Structure 1
Amino acid sequence: MNKLLLPLLLVFSISIFAQEEDHQFNQQNFNVGSTRVTKEDLYANTYLPDTTANAFYIYESGYSEIEDGREFNLFTNYEAKIKILNKEGYDEANITIPLYKGGSDKEKIHDLKATTYYLEGSTLKSTVLSESKIFTEENDKYEYIKFTFPDVKPGSVLVYSYQIETPYLFNFHTWWFQDDIPKAYSRYETEIPANYEYNIVKTGELELDQNDADIKKNCFYGGQSQNAGDCLTTIYAMQEIPAFIEEDYLTSKYNYISRIEYELKQITMLDGYERKYTKEWKDVDREFKTDKGIGKQLKKDRLVDELLPVDIASQDNDLDKAKAIYSFVRDNYKWNGNYGIFDEMNIKDLLDEHTGNISSVNVLLHNFYNNAGYTVYPVISATRNAGFPKKIIPVLSDFNYLFVLLEIDGKEYMLDATDEFVKFGQLPFRALNQYGRKLDFDTESSWIDIAPEEFSKVAYRDSLFVQEDGTSIVKSSQSFDGYHASSARRKISEASEDEQILKGLNFVRDSYQLIDLSYENEDDTSKELLVNYELKNISQKINDRIYLNPFTFVFWKENPFKLEERKYPIDFGYKDIYSSSILVEVPENYEIIEMPKQEMFALPNGAAKIQYITQKADDNHLFVRLRVIFSEAMYPSGYYPYLKEFMDKLVNIQNQSVIVLKEKIDNLAEN
């Protein structure tokens, strides 16, 4: 996903919008070259690249440079022009500008201006934002500048601009090409002194329409007595930028939303001294090893001496003992709900209070294994919603999670003792975020993949007994394994009534009424969770016919994929298998005159499959089997149209399958 930009390598130059009046955009004459509002901007009532848009950016630009000769702060000038197409787009008139607050200094905003342009008849009108309508809110880390454009109505064009001044040069300024509404054109320019070296990274699948870099001579003065230095100038631009719309089966939008990010690598001082800001992983390993947090706590093996029960401690160091240690820690030391790996942690406090954050609980698990003589490593990572940690350079703020990697007989087990519903060797779903960093202080740390090898499974085994009056009784035996089991166990523990469990675990048809519910192994994560139902269905009889959908339980009620196009992967987190086996028994005096057709469907390369089989056993029994296999945990965005069709097939099979029963002629004659 990430593409490292080498701005010093000038690949090509595209001249975009050299003259703002002479351009057409998708046959619409918007002024995409500046914030000047034109008649075409105001008269437009749709946006052709996305006719569903309620608002969009006609134009957006930014320019960042480091002030020379004084405090060397970073200044960014921003301006934007937004078109409101209808009332549903009014939210875009609410603007929030975050300003970071550090220890002794903070970011500042200058020259904030905002104007609403609109038409009254054919007359152009405008309303300028009053300073009294600009508000400030703040928390520990940020001050938020907020305002709402005045006199907004459908067709309005909103123009605003400001300058941000910041002393924090490490991240320079992130330029977000994508937003939750489309953009016709977005452009970002920078002027960076040559002695400031940044790693510049482009994220997202959208391609740049302009990617220019050049050297500007004598642009930067380090002081009154210094000669002028050179600067690197860059221009990045995109046009026809689609809105980023979050859909199901996404880790974090920040992994994929298109943007340009900067991280300060080093500054070369005037005397030639190189001041490094970005470290290498070997430097981080060394710091971790001596750190009073993780490094120090990982060495506190003696604190766990004699804490294990004798029946566990006396076992040989095999897999059974490892599982027993895992269960002991998970059952006796609880997670307090806090993340973070650099927050203050203290194993002694955890042992006293029996509760702590993610890091402390799993460091304790590590120490139990290490004390017992197992080969074990801590792994730092990030939760799914936090985004992927950067691999190229160490950015420790990217990490908020820690778990354990245990090696036994040549096999590796990823362990996290903070979730009572996952089994040994299974990380909580929140931790399935592609990869993590295994900390090995004796040799060298390395990246490891976080990808469950086993399939998670849901299996329904139903017996459907059809009555002469058109009602039916369903007995369903269901099994859940892997991540489906951990999710189901959590729902069972949180539910207070059987109906909540039924609707929490399954998509069940509204026409069914619950008669009985029982389950097994709800507290034993080493076994499959078993759930048994008995339900009754209302009558589906019309005249001498009974119409029946054999699927009491469906895997999906509707297709979760609804976008025309999706520019980011589909991430399920794990591979899974769904199966439904149904035996339909019809009354003796009825015959089966219509049944669903069999279907087979597969994604390219067999990445997912649907097998749907209907088979008549005898005059009164029908077998229905549906098996769905997702062979990958994550699918590239190119699979999206195929997955969309795949899910349409699956939903239609379960929602539209119909068995038709007809009363036998002899029976009708007798009546």
Structure 2
Amino acid sequence: MRITTLLLGLCFCFNTFAQNFSFGKVSKEELEEKFNPLDSSANATYLYKYRRTYMQYRQEEGFSLVTEIQERIKIYNQEGFDYATKEVNLYKRGSDDEQILSLKGYTYNLVEDKLVETKLEKDGIFKTEESKYHNQAKFTMPNIKDGSVVEYKYTITSPFYWNIDDFEFQHDIPIKYVEAVFEAPEYFNFKPIPKGYFGFKPTTEAKRDVIRFSSSQRGAGGFNGSNGTTFSSSELEFIKNTSTYKLSNVPALKDEPFVNNINNYRSAVKYELSYTKFPQSPLKYFSTTWEDVVKTIYESPSFDVELDRTGYFEEDIDALISSISDPMARASLIYSHVKSRVKWNGYYGKYTDGGVRKAYKDQVGNDAEINLMLTAMLRYAGLNANPVLVSSRNNGIPLFPTLDGYNYVVSAIETLDGVILLDATSKYSTPNILPFRTLNWEGRIVRKDKSSSTINLYPKEKSKKTVSIIANLKDTGSLEGGIRTVKTNHDAMIYREQYLEADKNQYLEKLENKYTDMEIDGFEVKNEMDLSKPIMESFKFTLENQADIIADKLYFSPLFFLRTKENPFKLEKREFPVDFGYPSSSKYMINIDLPEGYKVEVIPEPLVMTMPDNLGTFKYNISASDKKIQLVIDTEINESIISPIYYEVLKEYFSKMVEKEAEQIVLTKV
């Protein structure tokens, strides 16, 4: 079997290299292909991905970045139609922005054994402003059918030559052949940062190239005294460093639940500007070491200077804390003040945008403005507060010294008892309970002397959920009763975000639909804004068809609608960690009154499961009398992140938990 698979793969590889990847040269064989030979589950496949990124010098403008893209995609079925739409994000800052140029595209179909092409027209191309920092170009290829091949190419020009998008070599569909080229003049030292589990290695080459300069000068002319213009030109030779990547048969990257960001594990390479060295100029470092990164960020006028501004808040803070001497009481008042005063505008950034003074005045700002402001106020109140650089979950994990790796700022108070992390962008956040978007491995705390150190962003204290149900089971199989849920820490914060920011009628409708036609009455939430207390939700409910009636017996799971119905872990093997975000525990206490005239015939056995190294536990205890069943289930996940070496154990743990919760009680009519 292995030999057959190997031969198939080798043949597939040779066929890939034999194909013509010139734009527009789509073959009949590509159109006739019904499925990917190495991944029959794929709905689409990249037949070819090409990217070349290089620097271009214009005498009037200096260096700019140019990226050329060509992609050819095979669509096997309707589920693959989404790959006929391409979204291109274009960065902008102030009056500078990236542009997409020379866009061409065709859809190819086989009609009555003839190749028919349909051109992408202008009415299929859209450009929108996504935010003050990004535009987006979007196009959808025309005339898509089962079996279509789409192909497009375009060029992106960018004035931000230091900001290079990742070269991605893996997607959620397979890639038959990918080719990527990166070129940079010797004046720019870019550090390649690889990631992912599918191996790759570039071939590198150094070539001579030249920059040509021209100039003109007006001066005294010929013998008749007229003015003339003289033209001159010069050349500057330099070394151009080129890295070329060629990969074939790249497997799809399969996503799964509890992944903090699948892009962290996608095979790719990031080019980070390490330093520049121009002729007759000293080296300028950017991100060779963490010290360089911290120095570059801290010395930015949009960071360090903003921390030193105090005049705009001094009067307000003096009035707030003048009668309070306890440092932590002062910190609590300041933290609440910032959360209530300044609203987060949804923008991420390690630098301020309009500045802390403007954000305080306008009562709105990005995360850096809010949390640098908070840090400055805490320092003003006498606390040892410092900013913490963070990479949000959607930004990836900065494993190597990098400027682009950080895109967010929180605040930290360093005390003798440890570090207290604060984020005032969320009004539901509390000390050491950061918004979920920031729970991403480690942050880097930056102090006044520009020293820095890493700090774990994941909480140590568990979030707890307790669910209590008292219910009556009817002989018709219906269930009615009451449920109360109590949540703490991150569970409470996430609940508040979902409930308090939602339309209450829509929230109830979603809750009823979640449990399939549940009728809810007496819905109540307590401690909505008292963040020092757990949040409590309670309501009465009625549900039909909660027990199967067969002859004179009733069959039902004692967890009813709350049971875990499927194992979230389905991959045979997982190479990346399982990220739960935070440690948690849950407890279900269920009391069921049995219908008159029935007795318990079969009841599940108690069970205790423990994962190795105290990663988690599952306890199932049940007892029964003639009139009542009592069930208590305790589950614990004790680590925020679980290594992939425990994946099989974790998968088996959840499989047994699902199986146990599905076990049924059998009642027999007396």
Name the TM tier (shorter chain). Answer: 0.7 to 0.9
SS in structure 2 opposite 1:24?
Answer: helix
In structure 1, the residue matched to 2:180 is 188
Tell me, yes or no, if structure 1 residue 458 matches structure 2 residue 465.
yes
- Structure 1 letter corresponding to 2:210: Y
**Separation (CA, whole Å) in 2 of partners of 1:87 and 1:531:** 42
Q: Is the 8 A contact 1:435 1:450 kept in 2?
A: yes
1:613 to 621, 625, 638: 621
> Structure 1 residues 511, 657: CA separation in 2 closer, same or farther (over 3 Å shift)?
farther
In structure 1, the residue matched to 2:249 is 240
1:547 to 526, 551, 555: 555
SS in structure 1 opposite 2:420?
Answer: strand
Q: Is the 8 A contact 2:203 2:243 kept in 1?
A: yes
- Structure 1 letter corresponding to 2:177: Y
SS in structure 2 opposite 1:52?
Answer: coil
**Separation (CA, whole Å) in 2 of partners of 1:109 and 1:538:** 57
Listed as ranges, the matches of 1:497-516 within 5 Å are 500-501=507-508, 504=511, 509-510=515-516, 512-516=518-522
**Separation (CA, whole Å) in 1 of partners of 2:31 and 2:178:** 19
1:213 to 193, 199, 203: 203
Tell me, yes or no, if structure 1 residue 202 matches structure 2 residue 209.
no
- Structure 1 letter corresponding to 2:383: Y
> Structure 1 residues 520, 171: CA separation in 2 closer, same or farther (over 3 Å shift)?
closer
- Structure 1 letter corresponding to 2:529: D
Tell me, yes or no, if structure 1 residue 298 matches structure 2 residue 336.
no
In structure 2, the residue matched to 1:521 is 527
Deviation larger for 411-420 or 560-569: 560-569
SS in structure 2 opposite 1:460?
Answer: strand
Superposition deviation, residue 613 in structure 1: 2.5
Q: Is the 8 A contact 1:170 1:277 kept in 2?
A: no
Q: Is the 8 A contact 2:386 2:412 kept in 1?
A: yes
In structure 2, the residue matched to 1:137 is 127
1:230-266 alpha-carbon deviations (Å, 9 max, x no partner): 5544332333323345544333344333222223333
Q: Is the 8 A contact 1:499 1:514 kept in 2?
A: no
SS in structure 1 opposite 2:259?
Answer: coil
**Separation (CA, whole Å) in 1 of partners of 2:92 and 2:484:** 57
In structure 2, the residue matched to 1:60 is 49
Superposition deviation, residue 184 in structure 1: 1.5
1:453-474 alpha-carbon deviations (Å, 9 max, x no partner): 1111111233334456655443
Q: Is the 8 A contact 1:182 1:243 kept in 2?
A: yes
> Structure 1 residues 375, 31: CA separation in 2 closer, same or farther (over 3 Å shift)?
same
**Separation (CA, whole Å) in 2 of partners of 1:143 and 1:310:** 43
In structure 2, the residue matched to 1:80 is 71
Deviation larger for 81-90 or 96-105: 96-105
In structure 2, the residue matched to 1:326 is 335
Tell me, yes or no, if structure 1 residue 582 matches structure 2 residue 569.
no
- Structure 1 letter corresponding to 2:486: S
**Separation (CA, whole Å) in 1 of partners of 2:95 and 2:333:** 50
**Separation (CA, whole Å) in 2 of partners of 1:485 and 1:114:** 49
**Separation (CA, whole Å) in 1 of partners of 2:141 and 2:362:** 52
1:657 to 659, 663, 667: 663
**Separation (CA, whole Å) in 2 of partners of 1:234 and 1:250:** 31
Listed as ranges, the matches of 1:329-348 within 5 Å are 329-348=338-357
Q: Is the 8 A contact 1:93 1:149 kept in 2?
A: yes
- Structure 1 letter corresponding to 2:119: L
Superposition deviation, residue 435 in structure 1: 2.3
**Separation (CA, whole Å) in 1 of partners of 2:102 and 2:357:** 53
SS in structure 1 opposite 2:12?
Answer: coil
In structure 1, the residue matched to 2:271 is 262
**Separation (CA, whole Å) in 2 of partners of 1:483 and 1:257:** 28
The runs of 5 or more residues in structure 1 that have no matched partner are: 1-21, 665-671
Tell me, yes or no, if structure 1 residue 374 matches structure 2 residue 383.
yes
Q: Normalising to structure 2: TM-score of the pair?
A: 0.80
**Separation (CA, whole Å) in 1 of partners of 2:55 and 2:503:** 60
**Separation (CA, whole Å) in 2 of partners of 1:142 and 1:424:** 32
Tell me, yes or no, if structure 1 residue 437 matches structure 2 residue 437.
no
Output the aligned Cα RMSD. Answer: 4.1
SS in structure 2 opposite 1:25?
Answer: helix
> Structure 1 residues 173, 284: CA separation in 2 closer, same or farther (over 3 Å shift)?
closer
Q: Is the 8 A contact 1:267 1:275 kept in 2?
A: yes
Deviation larger for 64-73 or 524-533: 64-73
1:476-515 alpha-carbon deviations (Å, 9 max, x no partner): 34321111112223344346658945954x9974465434
SS in structure 2 opposite 1:451?
Answer: coil
> Structure 1 residues 516, 545: CA separation in 2 closer, same or farther (over 3 Å shift)?
farther
> Structure 1 residues 221, 350: CA separation in 2 closer, same or farther (over 3 Å shift)?
closer
1:506-542 alpha-carbon deviations (Å, 9 max, x no partner): 9974465434344433332112223333334447455
**Separation (CA, whole Å) in 1 of partners of 2:335 and 2:253:** 41
Q: Normalising to structure 1: TM-score of the pair?
A: 0.80
SS in structure 2 opposite 1:197?
Answer: strand
Q: Is the 8 A contact 1:611 1:626 kept in 2?
A: yes
> Structure 1 residues 533, 79: CA separation in 2 closer, same or farther (over 3 Å shift)?
closer
Superposition deviation, residue 47 in structure 1: 0.8
> Structure 1 residues 376, 249: CA separation in 2 closer, same or farther (over 3 Å shift)?
same
- Structure 1 letter corresponding to 2:667: L
1:627 to 620, 634, 641: 634
Tell me, yes or no, if structure 1 residue 24 matches structure 2 residue 30.
no
1:347-391 alpha-carbon deviations (Å, 9 max, x no partner): 555555555443333334323322232221122324322333564
The runs of 5 or more residues in structure 2 that have no matched partner are: 1-8, 213-232
1:560-603 alpha-carbon deviations (Å, 9 max, x no partner): 44556655433221111111122334356432101123344454
Superposition deviation, residue 24 in structure 1: 1.2
Tell me, yes or no, if structure 1 residue 90 matches structure 2 residue 81.
yes
Superposition deviation, residue 38 in structure 1: 4.3
Q: Is the 8 A contact 2:196 2:266 kept in 1?
A: yes
> Structure 1 residues 281, 441: CA separation in 2 closer, same or farther (over 3 Å shift)?
farther
Q: Is the 8 A contact 1:213 1:232 kept in 2?
A: no
Q: Is the 8 A contact 2:526 2:537 kept in 1?
A: yes
> Structure 1 residues 32, 167: CA separation in 2 closer, same or farther (over 3 Å shift)?
farther
> Structure 1 residues 96, 401: CA separation in 2 closer, same or farther (over 3 Å shift)?
closer
**Separation (CA, whole Å) in 1 of partners of 2:369 and 2:158:** 36
- Structure 1 letter corresponding to 2:117: T
Identical aligned pairs, as a percentage? 27
SS in structure 2 opposite 1:394?
Answer: coil
**Separation (CA, whole Å) in 1 of partners of 2:73 and 2:191:** 31
Count of paired positions: 634
- Structure 2 letter corresponding to 1:527: K
In structure 2, the residue matched to 1:8 is none
- Structure 2 letter corresponding to 1:129: K
Q: Is the 8 A contact 2:303 2:352 kept in 1?
A: no
- Structure 2 letter corresponding to 1:662: T
In structure 2, the residue matched to 1:669 is none
2:456 to 449, 457, 460: 449
> Structure 1 residues 93, 585: CA separation in 2 closer, same or farther (over 3 Å shift)?
closer
> Structure 1 residues 271, 612: CA separation in 2 closer, same or farther (over 3 Å shift)?
same
Q: Is the 8 A contact 2:181 2:244 kept in 1?
A: yes
2:29 to 21, 35, 40: 40
**Separation (CA, whole Å) in 2 of partners of 1:38 and 1:581:** 63
**Separation (CA, whole Å) in 2 of partners of 1:74 and 1:518:** 57
Tell me, yes or no, if structure 1 residue 489 matches structure 2 residue 496.
yes
